[in-house]
A and B are shown apart, each in its own frame.
Chain A
Amino acid sequence: MLHFILRRLLLLIPVIVGLTIIMFAIARLLPGDPVALAAGPNATQAEIAALAVEYGLDQPIWVQYGHYVSGLVHGDLGTSLLTRRPVAADIKAYLPATLELVFAAMFIAVAVGIPLGLVTAVWRNRWPDYLAQVGAIGAISMPRFFLGLLLQLCFAMWLMWLPLGGRLPIVVIPPRFVTGFLTIDSLIAGNWNAFFMSLRHLALPAIAMSLSPLATIMRMMRASTIEVMQQDYVMTARALGLPSRKIITKYVARNAVSATLTVIGLYFGWLLGGTVLVETVFDWPGLGLYATKAIVSQDMMPVIGVALVIGLLFVFANLVIDLLYGVINPKVRYS
């Protein structure tokens, strides 16, 4: 198993190299002049040239790439032209917000989607099942940013139950940085007020993010449950007179979940890259918002950094899922 993990981790190296080359190629395509943009409207030609020299942008692209790769080995992702801060520091500040949002959304999607998939499979071809199937297609079709806007309008502006955006009210002092997840950090600090505040801020964006994976997980779970329910061992369990609730929860659910796991892994990566729109709506200070601001001002270093980090997390998430197969289904062998 250790051998398996090590080999998979080694595979990350070509991914890193490939990702940086692709993103550098796109940066090269830029017809605009990011240096002039960063220097400001009143900058003289000399000032722009000085800035370009300072950031090494006057050199040929392969020299820039070489510098980037040698920095990468030391965990240096370059410097943002816009914030004038190291990209690695920026990402370290923004990544936890995005991860917290994705984990919360994934939690809702799995906690609701898997039971719902089981139930609709058991009730197959009856009206609650039809309703859930149509609802699922509706949920997948709903633009997340429109859903976010509707949630904001309803719960934040009209009912005023939940906050409009952000991670914490300005008046609340954030807990000391441990994991970067405000919910967990405030629990570690024993600050219940901050915990509930951060949870309230998390609710709407997490719901807006969770709807589409919830529907997909439900459909996947329904399909694999129906397949498992036709297996011989389920028939045997039934013939042995086991109560059907026990058959469903103990034998069917466990086997059906392993097929659904792949979807969960894929969705994790997809959500990581798809937070952009929800973060924009809810002003959530995460990677998506950071990348958007950088892209609009043609500041490529942060964009390369974000793409790299998300790409690596995506590969890593799929490795975790592969390992989870073995936990759920002991027949799986790693080779």
Chain B
Amino acid sequence: MTTTEHNSADDFATPRRDRLRRAFFRFSQSKLSMLGAAIVAVVIFFTVFGAVLAPYPNHVAGGVDTASRFIPPSAAHPFGTNELGQDVLSLVMAGTTVSVLAGFGVVLIGSVIGTLVGAVAGFARGWVDEVLMRLTDLTLTIPGLILAMAIAAALGSGFGNMVIAIALSWWPGYARLVRGEVLAAREEVYVTAARALGATPKRILFRHILPNVVSPIIVKMSLDMGFAILTVAGLGFIGIGVRPPTPEWGTLLSISRSYMPDYWWTAMAPGMAMFLAVFGFNLLGDGLRDILDPKARR
């Protein structure tokens, strides 16, 4: 957690706030991490306010304007209009909400399931570990996108179903990560101390071990955010996911495909939005890994 220049006694005395400040300083030294943080801040801003700030809110709500179909990019419509005469920029701004919230939902649910499975497996060991990890390996061998597609198709369309479908193919990575961390942590002195004080296994796992393995989980979550957004968009692109008129980047892109190459601008805004959001989260994730998980630094 702390830099190597300090000896352990010094570390021990360092209040948490100081360490956080130092971590933040190191993070801010990396221009790329700051760029990532800035992009992510913009993306989160649009997640919350995108639909409100959209220049044509009635288009977001599903309104059409057939008189102005396929207008090329102009001052009034910076990214043109689509086959229904809707402003592409407005749709993409509003689409941030679904894409980012779904991505966050996937990572959150996936990490909670994976952490529970991995923690129990690593802590209990023996046959519980064996059964849980074989299940994890098995899920890993099923192609994630196909598994997510199959579950999403089985559950039916809709935001929640899509998130659950992807999350159910997302947890094995966390299970493996957390199991490894818990296996290492359970040999630490503080665990022996807690056991000597008579703490129950449940308390040792949830109050002592898990808080100590939380940094790699957070790092993985931030690195996964981008890929989760990509997967959500991929499902939308194939046509499994939220249904129009709810704007979603992948669906917007898939509709615009039918109007290539004449009306190419309809694809640019959703595609670039996806790229930028994922790029931002990946830069941020890399930066967070460098400060929270120095062992993984290359």
Determine, out of A140-148, A192-200, A201-209, the stretch whose residues face the partner at the interface. A140-148
What are some 18 contacts across the A-B interface (CB < 8 A)?
A18-B134, A22-B142, A27-B154, A31-B155, A137-B32, A137-B279, A137-B282, A141-B279, A143-B278, A153-B260, A153-B261, A280-B238, A291-B146, A291-B149, A296-B240, A307-B150, A310-B146, A315-B141
A120 to B70, CA, bound (A): 45
A138 to B36, CA, bound (A): 11
Q: Are A146 and B274 in touch, CB under 8 angstroms?
A: yes
A116 to B226, CA, bound (A): 24
B188-231, CB under 8 A of A: which get 1 and which 0? 00000000000000000000000000000000000000100010
Q: Does chain A have a CB within 8 A of B143?
A: yes
Q: Does chain A have a CB within 8 A of B26?
A: no
> For A23, what are the chain B residues with a Cβ–Cβ distance below 8 Å?
142, 150
Q: Are A141 and B226 in touch, CB under 8 angstroms?
A: yes
Q: Does chain A have a CB within 8 A of B159?
A: no
Counting residue pairs across A and B whose Cβ atoms lie within 8 Å, the total is: 136
**Interface residue from B144, B147, B233, B261 paired with A143 (Cβ < 8 Å):** B233
A294-305, CB under 8 A of B: which get 1 and which 0? 011010100100
Q: Does chain B have a CB within 8 A of A26?
A: yes
Q: Are A30 and B282 in touch, CB under 8 angstroms?
A: no
In angstroms, how far is the closest chain B Cβ from the Cβ of A82? 13
Q: Are B149 and A276 in touch, CB under 8 angstroms?
A: yes
Q: Are A143 and B230 in touch, CB under 8 angstroms?
A: yes
> For A219, what are the chain B residues with a Cβ–Cβ distance below 8 Å?
298
> For A30, what are the chain B residues with a Cβ–Cβ distance below 8 Å?
153-154
A280 to B261, CA, bound (A): 17
Q: Does chain B have a CB within 8 A of A127?
A: no
> How many B residues touch A, CB cutoff 8 Å?
43
Of residues 205 through 259 on chain A, the ones whose CB sits less than 8 Å from some CB of chain B are 219, 222-223, 226
Q: A interface vs B, CB < 8 Å?
A: 14-15, 18-19, 22-23, 26-27, 29-32, 134, 137-138, 140-143, 145-146, 149-150, 152-153, 157-158, 219, 222-223, 226, 269-270, 272-274, 276-277, 280-281, 288, 291-292, 295-296, 298, 300, 303, 306-307, 310-311, 314-315
Q: Are B253 and A149 in touch, CB under 8 angstroms?
A: yes
Q: Are B253 and A307 in touch, CB under 8 angstroms?
A: no
In angstroms, how far is the closest chain A Cβ from the Cβ of B64? 24
A291 to B153, CA, bound (A): 12
**Interface residue from B32, B154, B260 paired with A157 (Cβ < 8 Å):** B260
Q: Are A142 and B275 in touch, CB under 8 angstroms?
A: yes
**Interface residue from A143, A152, A307 paired with B260 (Cβ < 8 Å):** A152
B261-298, CB under 8 A of A: which get 1 and which 0? 10010010001001100110011001000000000001
